[in-house]
Amino acid sequence: MKLTELAHEILFPHLLFGDCAVDMTAGNGLDTLFLSKLVGESGHIFSFDIQKAAIEQTNKLMSENQQISNYRLIHSCHTKIEEKIPHSFFQKIKAITFNLGYLPTSNKTIITTPQSTRYAVEKSYEWMAHDGVMTILAYRGHAGGADETETITDWANRVPVHHEMITGNNSPESPVLFVIKKSERFN
């Protein structure tokens, strides 16, 4: 199974109709669509991307495949969670997903970076519900990808979070899926 599919499998049991979830890297919109279908008409999805092309692509995918409008596409860096998501959702977000790196069909130099990813992951953890989950799919094969993965590992090892790291295969360049839950010590 691909790690993108595994991420969906992990997120799935955490989401019910009416819940709130966040896609931190909209890209082509596949994760946004997946989350939007799970939370139904009464749910709320917030979906970030710094690229206009990604927001447009996600908007197109959603308009073609989702009849209801339970999502907000945010053309902004995902570090802006506190400014862009209403505070009423603080610690009510049941699922947060990051699929890092670049948009495969677009400019490969527009990429997530260790510093902003770390900040966004930290803020996401604060905003996540106590019974929520966060998945982070990190790629080590491109320039900067290994550093970014190391940064997330470092954060997860230093703070009291429950985390699991699943690698695609044994290659040091294979992608890594982080699954993060709140630790009771943090609550």
Ligand X SMILES: C[S@@+](CC[C@H](N)C(=O)[O-])C[C@H]1O[C@@H](n2cnc3c(N)ncnc32)[C@H](O)[C@@H]1O
Sites of contact with ligand X (CB under 6 A): 25, 27-31, 48-51, 54, 77-78, 99, 101-103, 110-112, 116
Q: 57 or 182, CB closer to ligand X?
A: 57
Minimum distance, C-beta of residue 104 to ligand X, in the bound complex (Å): 7
The tokens for 23 are 């896609």
Concatenating the DSSP letter of every residue in 114-165 gives HHHHHHHHHHHHHHEEEEEEEEEEE--SSTTHHHHHHHHHHHHHHTTEEEEE
Q: Give the residue at shortest CB distance from ligand X.
A: 27
Minimum distance, C-beta of residue 101 to ligand X, in the bound complex (Å): 5
The tokens for 168 are 């695609």
Residue 35 DSSP code: H
Q: Are 75 and 55 in contact (CB under 8 A)?
A: yes
Minimum distance, C-beta of residue 160 to ligand X, in the bound complex (Å): 26
The tokens for 130 are 């106590």
Q: 43 or 145, CB closer to ligand X?
A: 145
Q: 19 or 31, CB closer to ligand X?
A: 31
**55: helix, coil or strand?**
helix
Q: 143 or 185, CB closer to ligand X?
A: 143
User: How many helical (H) and strand (E) elements, i.e. helices and strands, does the chain have?
Assistant: 6, 7
Find all residues with CB under 8 Å of 19, minimum gap 6, and list them.
38, 39, 43, 44, 94, 95
Residue 176 host element (H or E): strand 176-182
Minimum distance, C-beta of residue 185 to ligand X, in the bound complex (Å): 29
Minimum distance, C-beta of residue 143 to ligand X, in the bound complex (Å): 14
Q: 130 or 166, CB closer to ligand X?
A: 166
